[in-house]
Amino acid sequence: MPDLNINFAGIKAPNPFWLASAPPTNSGYQIMKAFDAGWGGAVWKTLGVPVINVSSRYGSINYRDTRMAGFNNIELITDRPLADNLKEIEEVKKYFPDHAVIASLMVETKAEWHQIIKDVENAGVDGIELNFGCPHGMCERGMGSAVGQEPAVLQTIVEWVMEVAKVPVITKLTPNISHIVDPGLAATRGGSNAISLVNTFKSIVGIDLDSFAPYPIVDGKGTNGGYCGPAIKPIALDMVKELAQHPEIQHVPISGIGGIETWRDAVEFILLGAGSVQVCTAAMHYGFGIVREMKAGLEQFMTDKGFETIYDFKGKALPNVTEWKNLNLMHKVVAKIDPAKCVGCDLCYIACDDGAHQAIRISKLNGNRIPEIIDENCVGCNLCALVCPVEECITMEKRDDGTKFKSWEELTIENNVPTSFDDELAGGKHHFVPTVQDALKFRK
């Protein structure tokens, strides 16, 4: 049985699955229920300056029959009294001394920061998370993402915090910035013990076509919200990688957040260097019980691969995430269709013909709808395999023998890169392209 225990910047937890600071961690009731369901830690719903929330708070993207493929909210930090939260933190820690309880905080002045840190430490938290993330509401008051977007301000506040904090401090970053390394560096230089990312993305999930207002609609008006859920995972993964690979930041533990719903998502974040993962939308969609799929899947993965702890594979994908210029230009894959599996939807054909490289043919002879790959035209872009609705029907076959390696970087050093527009060395020069007139034969 693999050991899921983690020690994240000094914060210990029975497993890496933590609830992100959000509605699921609004109360001691919820957090205790979550721990019983199997979560290893929870970041308390952000405590801080007093707020008032609106009614009608969430909107979502339903992708076909999939609900909440993307989720957005215009909620602020907690609106519950600080004293109640502190009392509940204390109680939760009494019942669950071995689970990680982390207080997310957002206040304004240095004095306020110092005071609230003392308060939550007295209540018994295992760590503190600084919320520099909310891209709505709080930023208009100079907090949340307004801080996260100003690395210098962020660093100053982290320094204030580090002056007094006795428990590990995690700085939570907003992704609403073009270069995530900047706030990452500021947090590191400010002395933060760890970094978590991402908070939500500034977003408008849709417009009501009758009232002409953005969702979620509050009395005929709306505002940008924060976007999260499965849709944001790819961008979150990239940002985690950016920090995990940065020479000055890579020693800082990272808690990965963004669109995590299954064990696979969690493993991906860990492979890119995350030492714990946080989940909000999936818990809001399915309840705390969703963690049983994540935990069982992680355990099975570790058993299958022979990993005993998550530190056996944490960051294992990082060496394989490189810059484009280092990729092997000699690598060659070609699509292959399994005619026994093909159902003849011809989506691959039209995707390739209209959207890629005209490397698929359909004979239509005797009503045959099974397409054929034209090997010499296929550039190995993967598009057909991605659109094919049948599992493992189109596979990408490796055609190079694996003995040759040549990257753009090497070609540059050898002075062998194409330089003029019509250079013989350019990649697409000898690719097949139909004639312009060939397009006319499709006219009806």
Partner 1 sequence: MAEFIRPKTEEEFEINFQQKKPLMNPTEAYFESSRCLFCYDAPCIQACPTGIDIPLFIKQITTKNLTGSAKTIYDSNWLGNACGAICPTGILCEGACVYNHQDVPPIQIGRLQNFATSYAIHENKNLFKIGPSNGRKVAIIGSGPAGIACACELRIMGYEVDIYEAKEKPSGLTLYGIAAYKITNEEVEREMDYLKNKLGLNFICNHPILEKFQLDELETSYDAIFLGIGIGPTAILNLPGEDKNNVIGAVEFIEELRKKHHEIKVPNHVVVIGGGNTAMDAASQSARLGAENITLAYRRSKSEMGAYGFEYKLAISSGVTSIFEAQPISIDGKDQAESVTFKRTKYNNGKLETIEGSEFVVMADLVIKATGQAKNSSILNLVEGMHTDNKNRIIVNEVSFQTTNPMYFAGGDAVNGGAEVVNAAYHGKMAAKGIEVWLNSFK
Ligand X SMILES: Cc1cc2nc3c(=O)[nH]c(=O)nc-3n(C[C@H](O)[C@H](O)[C@H](O)COP(=O)(O)O)c2cc1C
Interface residues with partner 1 (CB under 8 A)?
65, 262-264, 286-287, 289-290, 292-293, 296-297, 299-301, 304, 341, 389-393
CB of 323 to partner 1, least distance (A): 30
CB of 391 to partner 1, least distance (A): 4
Is position 216 an interface residue for ligand X (rule: CB under 6 A)? no
Is position 22 an interface residue for ligand SF4 (rule: CB under 6 A)? no
Is position 346 an interface residue for ligand SF4 (rule: CB under 6 A)? yes
CB of 27 to ligand SF4, least distance (A): 13
Collapsing DSSP states into helix, strand and coil, what is residue 417?
coil
Is position 199 an interface residue for ligand X (rule: CB under 6 A)? yes
337 binds, among ligand SF4, partner 1, ligand X, none (CB under 5 to 8 A by kind): ligand SF4
Question: Which one of the spans 113-121, 125-133, 248-256, 340-348 is the region binding ligand SF4 (CB under 6 A)?
Answer: 340-348
Is position 27 an interface residue for ligand X (rule: CB under 6 A)? no
Q: Are strands 17-19 and 66-73 parallel, antiparallel or unpaired?
A: unpaired
347 binds, among ligand X, partner 1, ligand SF4, none (CB under 5 to 8 A by kind): ligand SF4
Is position 359 an interface residue for ligand SF4 (rule: CB under 6 A)? no
Instruction: Indicate the residue among 287 and 434 with the shorter CB distance to ligand SF4.
Output: 287
The one among 345, 374, 381, 411 contacting ligand SF4 by CB under 6 A: 345
30 binds, among ligand X, partner 1, ligand SF4, none (CB under 5 to 8 A by kind): none
Q: Under a CB-based contact definition with an 8 Å cutoff, are residues 252 and 192 in contact?
A: yes
Burial class (CB in 10 A: 0-12, 13-18, 19+), 126: buried
- Phi, psi dihedral angles at 270 (to 5 degrees): -65, -40
C-alpha to C-alpha distance for 117 and 97, rounded to whole angstroms: 20
CB of 280 to ligand SF4, least distance (A): 15
- Compute CA 272 distance to the chain's CA centroid, rounded to the nearest angstrom: 11
Q: Under a CB-based contact definition with an 8 Å cutoff, are residues 13 and 100 in contact?
A: yes
**Can you tell me which residue has the tokens 């961008």?**
235
Sheet with 66-73: list strands edge to edge. 58-63, 66-73, 225-228, 201-203
Question: Which one of the spans 42-50, 84-92, 294-302, 389-397 is the region binding ligand SF4 (CB under 6 A)?
Answer: 389-397
Is position 257 an interface residue for ligand X (rule: CB under 6 A)? yes
- Which whole-number Å values give the CA distances from 440 to 348, 374, 444, in the listed order? 21, 21, 9
Q: Which of residues 141-160 bind ligand SF4 (CB under 6 A)?
A: none
Collapsing DSSP states into helix, strand and coil, what is residue 124?
coil
Active-site residue, 228 included: no
Instruction: Indicate the residue among 155 and 281 with the shorter CB distance to ligand SF4.
Output: 281
342 binds, among ligand SF4, partner 1, ligand X, none (CB under 5 to 8 A by kind): ligand SF4
Largest Cα–Cα distance in the chain? 81
193 binds, among ligand SF4, ligand X, partner 1, none (CB under 5 to 8 A by kind): none
Rg, the chain, Cα only? 26
Burial class (CB in 10 A: 0-12, 13-18, 19+), 17: buried
DSSP character string of 193-249: SEEEE--PEEE---B-TTT--BSSPBTTB---EEEESGGGHHHHHHHHHHHHH-TTT
Is position 411 an interface residue for ligand SF4 (rule: CB under 6 A)? no
CB of 418 to ligand X, least distance (A): 42
CB of 215 to ligand X, least distance (A): 14
279 binds, among ligand SF4, partner 1, ligand X, none (CB under 5 to 8 A by kind): ligand X
Of the CA atoms within 13 Å of residue 304, those in its CB half-sphere come to 6
Residues at the interface with ligand SF4 (CB under 6 A): 337, 342-348, 371, 387-388, 390, 393-394
Residues noted as catalytic? 134
